[in-house]
Amino acid sequence: MIDLRSDTVTRPTPAMLKAMTEAEVGDDVFAEDPTVNAFEEKIANLFGMEAGLFVPSGTMGNQLCLHVLTTPGDEVILDETGHIFNYESGAAAHLSSLQLHPLKGKRGKISPELIEPAIRPKNEWDPHTRVIALENTTNKGGGAFYAKKELAEIRTLADKHGLDVHLDGARIWNALTVSGIGPEFFGTIADTLSVCFSKGLGAPVGSMILGNRDHVKRARRIRKMWGGGMRQIGLLAAAADYAVEHHWPLLKEDHRRARAFAEAVAAHPAFHVDSAAVETNIVLFDVVQGTVEKAIQNFAGAGVGMVPFGAKTIRATFHFQIDDEALEKVLQVVEDFPI
Ligand SMILES: Cc1ncc(COP(=O)(O)O)c(C=O)c1O
């Protein structure tokens, strides 16, 4: 199957596996894994942050960051399509006693005009607005990314109201690729940042949270409490490091292929998509003839996997294990899709 269901479906390459087997390891709960320690320092430096902590998943990364930034009863402002709001099993309520305040942004992005009226007055009876959580690129928003100016304006607003900014950068590598923003800029706009190595970068496991030394020290204890203390994970850090070095440069090809796919979909009468809005590796398109279920079945029957992403919407996601040959086959399947 040509698997466009997600960019998480990639398999480790032989070269990545080799890097893993060659990694020097130690017990990371004792902070004695040299590969992990070096990798945490490297990624923290890359993003201009004081410290980093390797964690098993993007979900744990987001939740640790929210936990260290808040106290129970606080409120987090985010877009209504945000991963934290939709796909983390209600963890913010369960693990940190937080209330999420979703806003209707555009393609998963929120702006100061939307955020400022949502900041609560400081009354005893109001929830306490504490964090603005952004996602970059957006998943359910179809891979949209924030421009530098938009991020800077949100930072200014957060400072004006004494709020922290958390950025879910599961696909920040795609955002960096397309926006031309340097990674160190994110250290100036986010208090905490969580980045994934297991999405388009293609590592089998792993995310990292970044913040100041105090955030990371406290997150390290909570990671242990939540059962995320890991031992000889230099193996995984080596895979993630390999992915940053060798797969990050490939993301621009994923973006090109996603755009070509979107153009083919736009040309078919059964579907609707604004192909110009496809900026990174995610394509959301609507089914205008028939149902999403039937369309997904048809694509699967033709050997192409996709996922439903709403009542009328399908998501196709590109990754480095979809090459140009696979793309050509997918384009043909779209062209031949029964009307
Ligand atoms: C935007 C975003 N944030 C966070 C996550 C969570 O990552 P994980 O599946 O590693 O928990 C995902 C997963 O796809 C995501 O798309």
Mutate to test the pocket of ligand 1, among 81, 87, 166, 209 (most ligand atoms within 8 A of CB): 87
Distance between alpha carbon 103 and the CA centroid of its chain, in Å? 19
Are both 14-246 and 250-335 of the same fold?
Answer: no
Give 290 Cα–ligand 1 centroid separation in angstroms: 30
14-246: CATH topology is Aspartate Aminotransferase; domain 2 (3.40.640)
Give 60 Cα–ligand 1 centroid separation in angstroms: 9
Return the residue whose CA atom lies nearest to atom 7 of ligand 1: 58
**pLDDT in the model for residue 9:** 98
CATH of domain 250-335: 3.90.1150.10
Sign of the torsion angle spanned by Cα atoms 307, 253, 248, 173? negative
pLDDT digits (tens, 9 = 90+) for 95-138: 999 999 999 999 999 999 999 999 999 999 999 999 999 999 99
* % of the chain surpassing 70 pLDDT: 100
3-state SS track over the chain? CEECCCCCCCCCCHHHHHHHHCCCCCCHHHCCCHHHHHHHHHHHHHCCCCEEEEECCHHHHHHHHHHHHCCCCEEEEEECCCHHHHCCCCHHHHHHCCEEEEECCECCECCHHHHHHHCCCCCCCCCEEEEEEEECCCCCCCCCCCCHHHHHHHHHHHHHHCCEEEEEECCHHHHHHHHCCCCHHHHHHCCEEEEECCCCCCCCCCEEEEECHHHHHHHHHHHHHCCCCCCCCHHHHHHHHHHHHHCHHHHHHHHHHHHHHHHHHHCCCCEECCHHHCCCCEEEEEECCCCHHHHHHHHHHCCEECEECCCCEEEEECCCCCCHHHHHHHHHHHHCCCC
pLDDT digits (tens, 9 = 90+) for 223-273: 999 999 999 999 999 999 999 999 999 999 999 999 999 999 999 999 999
Ligand 1 proximal residues by C-beta, below 6 Å = 57-59, 62, 83, 135, 139, 168, 170, 196, 198, 207
Closest approach atom of ligand 1 to CA 135: 1
Closest approach atom of ligand 1 to CA 207: 10
Mutate to test the pocket of ligand 1, among 59, 138, 194, 205 (most ligand atoms within 8 A of CB): 59
Give 80 Cα–ligand 1 centroid separation in angstroms: 15
The arrangement of strands across the sheet holding 207-211 comes to 51-55, 207-211, 192-196, 164-169, 128-135, 74-79, 99-103
Give 58 Cα–ligand 1 centroid separation in angstroms: 5
Q: pTM to 2 decimals?
A: 0.97
Alpha-carbon span 55 to 170, nearest angstrom: 12
pLDDT digits (tens, 9 = 90+) for 46-101: 999 999 999 999 999 999 999 999 999 999 999 999 999 999 999 999 999 999 99
Closest approach atom of ligand 1 to CA 82: 1
**pLDDT in the model for residue 245:** 98
**pLDDT in the model for residue 339:** 85
Return the residue whose CA atom lies nearest to atom 6 of ligand 1: 58
Mutate to test the pocket of ligand 1, among 10, 83, 194, 281 (most ligand atoms within 8 A of CB): 83
How large is the average pLDDT for residues 204-217? 98
Give 74 Cα–ligand 1 centroid separation in angstroms: 23
- The domains of the chain are located at 14-246, 250-335
